[in-house]
Amino acid sequence: MTNYRDFSEIYVDFINPIFFITLVHKCDQMKARIILLLSLFLISSASLFAREKGEEESKELIYIGTFSENGSLGIYAFDFNRKNNRYDLLQTILSKGSPSFIEVSPNGKYLVSVNREGLARKEEWGSVTSFAIDQNSGKLTVVKNQYSFGDSPCHISFHPSGKYIFVSHYKGGNFVVLPIDEEGNIGEPTANIQLTGKGTIMPQQEQAHTHSAVPSRDGKFLYVSDLGLDMILIYHFDEATGKVTPASQPFIRTIPGAGPRHFILNEKGDYAFSSEEISSSISSYQVNRETGGLQLIQRLPALPPAFFGDNSSADVQLSSDGKYVYISNRGYNGLAMYKVSNNGKMKNIGYMPTIGDRPRSFLPDPKGYFMLVANRDSNEVNIFTMEKDGTLKDTSGYLPVPSPVCIKYLELK
């Protein structure tokens, strides 16, 4: 009789449906063949059962943009096996240009990145790269490199139609609208808006520092957060031409020295939340979906009362059900967590250290089970579970990624 301990461990991974068998201890050829045939039988049976039940296999992917430092190679793509809580490195896209902020197109066919490094003849500008996403493997292939038309691009987003991308420039103080066609080719700007002025906190607010441009859910308006001007500017967006014009409420001012950075709307588009970098605070707004206008609901601190060190807040994200909002803090090195009521008001429910240094972007699981946090200075993406009450729990798991900045998710079916 064969003792199972002769094999020590057998691991069979059903992925698309590739199987992987590890035999830690040696076994004879006959045993190996039996295991191989059994594995093939199980895979075939499982696939047949899924087809009979009409189930579609899906593939989940995690893409991570980085700064080109600390040995980073560029953009990292991971294959995520939810059943086994396993992340396998799928691909590394080589880039020396700091492909820091990334975004996936609404149809899931393309990924775009903003890069600090420029292209020939316009080295003072940054650049934008589009990638085709293989709909079977999730791997990326470069489609087009384009000028970003400004200095130090720091954020990129898609119009809901997928026909335009919005690029914000921190040092340049401008935002640009670029058309992108069905093949992923990026065209010339349809709009290039230069912001001017200054705020009250020096040197951070010595000039305009456009930090993000985010469209409304219906794509009719564009919200531009400028850290240097202490304003969220509001534009009407013409999908036919790609042009922008100031909305009837052209902007809303924050408190002096707030430094609005990132902006996110809930699923209905009737409430929005803003991370304020300099004042380390978070604000909620009521959105007029007819005019695009914003009205402040509430502003709360993003730091624990007992923390008195240097800090700058970064990203803001909502849970998939919209019931909780989170903001990352660099310095305190933790996330502040809030419960969101039906009227857009927030209630602090605690703080979670990110188990790393200088957290920037983070990703709440679209299915509501985990949170990934990009800790730039400790070169890792730390993994947390999302509890039913909106709080987070450390899993002690992490992905070793040099200088991670931005994390995006895609499910292929």
CATH code of the domain covering residue 301: 2.130.10.10
Please list the pLDDT of the chain residue by residue as tens digits (413 residues): 333 223 223 222 333 333 333 333 334 444 444 444 444 443 344 443 433 433 457 999 999 999 999 999 999 999 999 999 999 999 999 998 999 999 999 999 999 999 999 898 888 999 999 999 999 999 999 999 999 999 999 999 999 999 999 999 999 999 999 999 999 999 999 999 999 999 999 999 999 999 999 999 999 999 999 999 999 999 999 999 999 999 999 999 999 999 999 999 999 999 999 999 999 999 999 999 999 999 999 999 999 999 999 999 999 999 999 999 999 999 999 999 999 999 999 999 999 999 999 999 999 999 999 999 999 999 999 999 999 999 999 999 999 999 999 999 999 99
What pTM did the predictor assign? 0.86
Residue-range definition of the domain harbouring residue 23: 4-52
Cα→Cα distances 153→38, 211, 328, 404, Å: 53, 9, 20, 16
Same domain, 15 and 125: no
Do residue 27 and residue 82 come from a single domain? no
Give the residue from 117, 58, 104, 114 showing the smallest Cα distance to 77.
Answer: 104
Q: Two tokens at 315?
A: 């990203």
pLDDT at res. 369: 97
Domain boundary among 34, 52, 70: 52
Domain count, the chain: 2
SS (HEC) of 60-124: EEEEEEECCCCCCCEEEEEEEECCCCEEEEEEEEECCCCEEEEEECCCCCEEEEEECCCECCECC
The verdict on 63 and 151 lying in the same domain is: yes
Whether 179 contacts 242, CB under 8 Å: yes
Which residue type does 320 have? S
Same domain? 153 vs 105: yes
Supply the pLDDT for residue 55: 43
Q: Are residues 191 and 224 in the same domain?
A: yes
Note whether 189 and 74 are same-domain residues: yes
Residues 6 or more apart whose CB falls under 8 angstroms from that of 258 comprise 230, 276, 278, 279, 281, 283
Tell me, what's the pLDDT at 16? Answer: 35
Claim to verify: residue 16 and residue 69 sit in the same structural domain: no
With CA atoms as reference, report the closest residue to 302 among 348, 247, 253, 240.
348
Is residue 349 within 8 A of residue 338, CB to CB? The reply is yes
341 in the same domain as 298:
yes
304 and 405 belong to one structural domain: yes
| Cα 130 to Cα 205: distance, rounded to the nearest angstrom | 32
DSSP state of 365: -
46 and 72 part of one domain: no
Three-class secondary structure of residue 40 per DSSP: helix
The string of DSSP letters for 185-242 reads -B---SEEEE-----SSTTTTSS--EEEEEE-TTSSEEEEEETTTTEEEEEEEETTTT
**How far is it, in rounded angstroms, from Cα 325 to Cα 205?**
27
Judgement on whether residues 43 and 111 belong to the same structural domain of the protein: no
Does one domain contain both 34 and 115? no
